[in-house]
Amino acid sequence: MTSPFNIYSEIGSLEKVIIHRPGKEIENIYPDYLEALLFDDIPNLRVAQKEHDQFAKALQSKGAEVLYLTDLATEALKAEETKKAFIKDFIKLSQLTHQEEDKVYTYLYEYLADREPEELVNMLISGIRKEEVKVETDLVLPGLIDSNKPFYIDPLPNMYFTRDPASIIGHGISYNRMDHTARKNETLFMKYITAHHPLFSDSDIPQVNDDKSRFPIEGGDILVLSQDTLAIGLSARTSPEAIEILFKKLRSLNSPIKQVIAVEIPKKRAFMHLDTVFTQLDTNKFTVHPAVMKIADDMNLYILRENSNRQVVVERKSNLIETLKSCLHLNELELIPVGDGQAIEAAREQWNDGSNTFALAPGTVVAYDRNYVTNDTLKSYGIDVIEVPSSELARGRGGPRCMTMPISRKNSL
């Protein structure tokens, strides 16, 4: 059976997309644990859920089918053997730090094994508090020292950013090795969903990357610009080794992807992934952070291609516009600045993911309503902007593109 995945574009009309509605995991964020969980603030869950529901409606407004990750995972874990294997893998990935790790593992497994799939999925995403599981131990002091950490299994509050753990490239899937421990378990959900959910399990899906690699790569850095071209961010969370390994795997599978533009971006929080500073709006229109525009003719760009001997060759470039025009065979190209190019407005709206738009079709994008300066600028360039509420969703430092994992678009191979 052929692959159910079809992504050869950032802007082709959206057909199917996977998202996750924030749940109790958000309520398990607390001030002392913000940094470890990669959050800067604590969203109001009830408001965040309402905003996410509006976001889902926006995705559906142009005819796309919205699939919820928890529904897919629940269906995938219906078989008892599959469910138990998932629990074991999940606990192992959770890197228990308790001094009696084996004993804690046993207690956690027994606590989870009899749960129905739906309850299990929600529990593991929400996190397992120590007060929920009574672990009998002969050791007293280690428990007292370890008492400041309230979880046996940490919550996964970043789960609503479904973009990062796995990426669809053409007809294949990249299972991404997440850079931070707080997010490593997210990829496991996608592996079990694609292996065991009936939508995917009987299909021939090329695997173009594996999360067991030592080198991190995250979906927010991977942009599928055309049928033969990727752009991948060299960022704080994606390594050059991972980019080259991915490209080599694509070529070994005879993928239509013939070239990768590796784009070096600053390794800091506000520039977390490439899609936080650069996204595609239409065939020849992109939105960018002004800091990128200022150096657009003096960047570190590396084009990976394959020579006649099937060896990787790298060509270094410095001009972003000319590189994109050449690789995408465009005569004209427009870079539209976040915040209308104004320093303060751009910095403020960049912090709230002003450039992290998500295309439903060429020239039609979803964006956070709070970034009104940027949105008005996009409209002045002829872009149809569907604005969604964002006061709470934005606190996770991710925007509409971050919250989506598109699995099928029209106008593709």
| pLDDT, tens digit, 9 for 90 and up, residues 359-381 | 999 999 999 999 999 999 999 99
Which runs of E-coded beta strand occur in 200-354? 207-209, 222-224, 229-234, 259-264, 278-282, 285-288, 301-306, 312-317, 334-337
DSSP 117-150: HHHHHHHHHH-EEGGGS----S-SHHHHHGGG--
CATH 1.10.3930.10 residue spans of the chain? 72-153
Q: Is the pLDDT at 20 greater than 60, yes or no?
A: yes
User: Tell me: the pLDDT tens digits for 278-316?
Assistant: 999 999 999 998 887 777 678 899 999 999 899 999 999
d(CA 183, CA 86): 16
Lowest mean pLDDT among 4-8, 153-157, 209-213, 216-220: 209-213
Q: Regarding the domain delimited by 72-153, which CATH topology (the fold level of the hierarchy) does it fall under?
A: Pentein (1.10.3930)
Please tell me the predicted confidence (pLDDT) of residue 411: 73
Is-catalytic flag, 327?
no
Q: Is the pLDDT at 233 greater than 50, yes or no?
A: yes
Q: Regarding the domain delimited by 14-69+157-409, which CATH topology (the fold level of the hierarchy) does it fall under?
A: L-arginine/glycine Amidinotransferase; Chain A (3.75.10)
Of the pLDDT bands very low, low, confident and very high (cuts 50, 70, 90), residue 100 is low
Q: In terms of Cα–Cα distance, which of 20, 9, 11 is closest to 55?
A: 20
Q: Is the pLDDT at 142 greater than 60, yes or no?
A: no
Please tell me the predicted confidence (pLDDT) of residue 145: 53
CB atoms within 10 A of CB 332: 9
Position 88, amino acid: K
Q: In terms of Cα–Cα distance, which of 178, 145, 151 is closest to 164?
A: 178
Q: Is the pLDDT at 408 greater than 80, yes or no?
A: yes
Please tell me the predicted confidence (pLDDT) of residue 143: 56
- Please give the structure tokens belonging to residue 405: 């994992």
Please tell me the predicted confidence (pLDDT) of residue 98: 52
Quick check: 67 and 75 in contact, CB under 8 A? no
Q: In terms of Cα–Cα distance, which of 183, 83, 95, 98 is closest to 133?
A: 98
Lowest mean pLDDT among 11-25, 75-89, 173-187, 294-308: 294-308
Lowest mean pLDDT among 40-44, 263-267, 402-406: 263-267
Quick check: 299 and 352 in contact, CB under 8 A? no
Selected catalytic residue, list 402, 403, 405, 407: 402
Please tell me the predicted confidence (pLDDT) of residue 149: 79
Q: Is the pLDDT at 396 greater than 70, yes or no?
A: yes
Of the pLDDT bands very low, low, confident and very high (cuts 50, 70, 90), residue 413 is very low
Q: Please state the rounded mean pLDDT for residues 324-347.
A: 94
Please tell me the predicted confidence (pLDDT) of residue 412: 46
Q: Is the pLDDT at 42 greater than 80, yes or no?
A: yes
CATH 3.75.10.10 residue spans of the chain? 14-69+157-409
Quick check: 393 and 8 in contact, CB under 8 A? no
Quick check: 384 and 373 in contact, CB under 8 A? no
Q: Please state the rounded mean pLDDT for residues 20-46.
A: 94
Q: Please state the rounded mean pLDDT for residues 68-76.
A: 98
Task: Report the chain's mean pLDDT, rounded to a whole number.
Answer: 92
Which DSSP letter does residue 205 get? -
Q: Please state the rounded mean pLDDT for residues 237-252.
A: 96
Q: Is the pLDDT at 138 greater than 70, yes or no?
A: no
Query: SS3 for 233?
Result: strand
Please tell me the predicted confidence (pLDDT) of residue 140: 53
Q: Is the pLDDT at 269 greater than 60, yes or no?
A: yes
